[in-house]
Amino acid sequence: MYLKTPFKFIAPRAWKDLIQREKWLIGGTLKRVSYEEWHSAIKETFHTVKHSFRYVADPKGPWGLTHPEDGSLTGRPVLRGDCDGFVLEVFRKLVDQDLPVEALRWVIGKTEQGGHMIGIVETDQLSLVIDFNQDSPVSLDELDYCQLRFASNPSGQWFLATT
């Protein structure tokens, strides 16, 4: 099942701030990548980021990562942030591997605990969810705890999200 976005929505202020800092996030029209070609890289990237990521709730405001720790205690840098920072870092590493930014979507949802951000990689077989609360990327059909509210398309427009 693909994420459909029929009703245009004004982009969140935090999104506008993020794309000013991370201009690579804006692409052209939606492009679904080959599941067979990209599934392993998506899964490995998810696990690499999750292994070096420390969840720290951000104050309301800008999306993205807080400053990384220097790694002096663990021997490796630790990324700090919350759900949007996790999505940003996974997306950054996938784009660095030449996954087209046009296959990526940001999705704002709601859980019992409050607002939540997930990412979606659109493939030719399914929509893969990048979510800090999961152990691995999952199909959008498997995401049962988060009610999707708003989604971006690759050109940076936002829409009401429906599945």
> CA 64, CA 74: separation in Å to the nearest integer?
23
CA distances (Å), 85 to each of 33, 97, 105, 163, in order? Answer: 23, 19, 14, 24
pLDDT tens digits, one per residue of 39-96:
999 999 999 999 888 777 766 655 555 545 544 444 455 566 778 888 988 999 999 9
pTM of model > 0.85 = no
**CA separation (Å) from 49 to 29, 43, 77, 112, 147?**
27, 10, 11, 25, 24
The structural domains of the chain, ordered by start, are: 4-162 (3.10.620.30)
**Would you state the pLDDT for residue 64?**
57
Residues 19 and 25: beta-carbon distance below 8 Å: yes
What integer pLDDT is reported at residue 103 of this predicted model? 94
Residue pLDDT, tens place only, 8-44: 667 777 778 887 888 888 888 889 999 999 999 999 9
Query: Residue 1: is its pLDDT beyond 80?
Result: no
| The pLDDT value given to residue 127 | 92
